[in-house]
Amino acid sequence: MTKAPYSGQRSKILPRMILMGLSTLFALLCADSVVRSLPSIPSAHQRRLSMANEQGLPFDTRDQLDLIRDLRREGIVAYPKVTVSAILAELSELDEPTFLPVSGIAQVATASCNETGVWTVYESDAFGFNNDPVAWEQPEHRVMLVGDSFTNGACVGPDEDLVRRLRQLGYNTISVGSGDNGPMLELASLREYGRALAPKIILWFYFEGNDVEDFQRELQVPLLHRYLDPSFTQNLVLRQREVNEFLIGVSDRAESQAALERERAHQASAKWRRDQANRSWIGYIKPTVTLYHLRSFVTERMRNARSHHGMLERQQLEQLEQVFKTAKGDAATLDAPLVVVYLPSIESASSSHRATHEEVLKILNRLQIPVLDFQPDISQKKKAFFPFGIGPHYSASGYDVLAQTIATQVLAAHVRPSLER
């Protein structure tokens, strides 16, 4: 009986496929072993702590939950800085949210962040912002700051943030900045508090490190789009009691969730240690056989790639231009010039940031909005401008240089110092 012509070919192909499969499996197992042997990449917090130890500097290792509990044990009414992410998560559960705070909880000790080894804790003003308690009582020659955590005084001491530095130079400065703000929330802050402030000049801070991502998130919030209508306002100046109640509720729920997650993590860690002590030889080889380390490595890299600072698409650039155009109109209504301060990040040399820098400056140039570009100043002294050379926020010396630059290049031409130095 004559063999089919393809049977011989199949008998040759099958061993090759088996060999190829075994070779691939061996390569994957080797890759998993290599990944397993790689040292873990320390987090930014771990790097700061390590550098502080090397330099002999004290570093408060408490997390925010422990800090808040310690402050309350001392009889201090304290809350964490409520993030925009937490607020939007609450609002996302509503069909059509009609209320969106853009400030903080008023007149409480507010815990912000720790990038220097010392927690930033400030007493919030009557509207929940980080300002000198008497700032709202001084009506002359006000300078209004609009922005995110950089104008909220994040991660530096009580007299080292940008607002205090400018006040030390004699300028009556008040911030309506809040962490996680992007351009649309900043427009909302200008609209809601600009009339009450009646500023002589408005400084709008654009931070290239995360304003792209913040803006993309804000575009998903219908309520924020209403601020493109110059007549729209929530009248938040008159609704601080509602703001407090809402944010305290958000904070309490977030605190309960954080405590629950900490307990779960503690239990999982204890279980892992027990399993490690009792596991059989199968337990030792299972992670490698299942390529656990390689899969985790690839998953983490993909997550980092997705969260990497992105770029705005053409339609989003047009929407950003509309935001700045509306802000310019609001400033004109207040009879105050609008100046944008462009804040670079520690990664400002990356291609996505260079492209964003160019696009934002083009928009502002078309709208004839003056710009103070802080990028050239910071590019020469990165390590001095960021705590432990890590970021994302500036150090006390970074804010000092920024304040001096703003005072000499912007404020001197528009408003005179009115505070005692």
| Amino acid identity at 282 | I
- Would you state the pLDDT for residue 270? 73
Long-range own/partner contacts, residues 94-99 (CB < 8 A, 24 or more apart): 96/222, 97/223, 98/223, 99/234, 99/242, 99/246
- Helices (DSSP H) in 4-161: which residue ranges? 5-37, 44-54, 64-73, 84-91
Give counts: helices (H), strands (E), the chain.
16, 8
- From residue 72, give the alpha-carbon distance in Å to each of 69, 107, 156, 255, 336: 5, 15, 22, 13, 42
Total number of domains in the chain: 1
For residue 8, is it within any domain?
no
Which residues form the domain of 170?
A: 130-236+314-413
Backbone phi, psi, residue 80, to 5°: -75, 160
Residue of 289, 279, 362, 351 lying closest to 320 (CA atoms): 362
pLDDT the model gives residue 189: 97
Q: Is residue 149 part of a domain?
A: yes
Cite the DSSP H helix spans in 169-206: 183-197
Write down the pLDDT at residue 39: 64
The answer to the question of residue 379 being in a domain is: yes
Q: Which residues contact 83 (CB under 8 A, 6 or more apart)?
A: 179, 180
Asked if 147 and 186 count as a contact pair (C-beta separation under 8 A), the reply is: yes
CA–CA distance, 152 with 166 (Å, rounded to integer)? 13
Q: What is the dihedral of CA 53, 154, 411, 326, to 10 degrees?
A: 140
Q: Can you tell me the distance from the alpha carbon of 9 to that of 16, in angstroms, rounded to the nearest whole number? A: 11
Model's pTM, two decimal places? 0.85
Cβ 184 vs Cβ 244: under 8 Å: no
Domain membership flag for residue 319: yes
Residue 229 lies in a domain: yes
Running along the chain, 421 residues long, what does each successive block of 10 average in pLDDT? 56 73 72 66 84 92 94 96 84 79 96 94 96 87 95 92 95 95 97 96 95 92 95 97 95 88 79 64 60 64 52 88 98 97 81 79 96 79 80 91 95 84 66
Backbone angles phi, psi at 96, to 5 degrees: -140, 85
Q: How many CB atoms lie within 10 A of CB 315?
A: 9
50 assigned to some structural domain: no
Q: What is the CATH number of the domain that holds 143?
A: 3.40.50.1110
**170 occurs within a structural domain:** yes
**Chain centroid to CA 332:** 29
Q: Which of 187, 184, 178, 181 is nearest to 209 (CA)?
A: 181
**Do the domain assignments include residue 378?**
yes
Tokens of 348: 């400002």
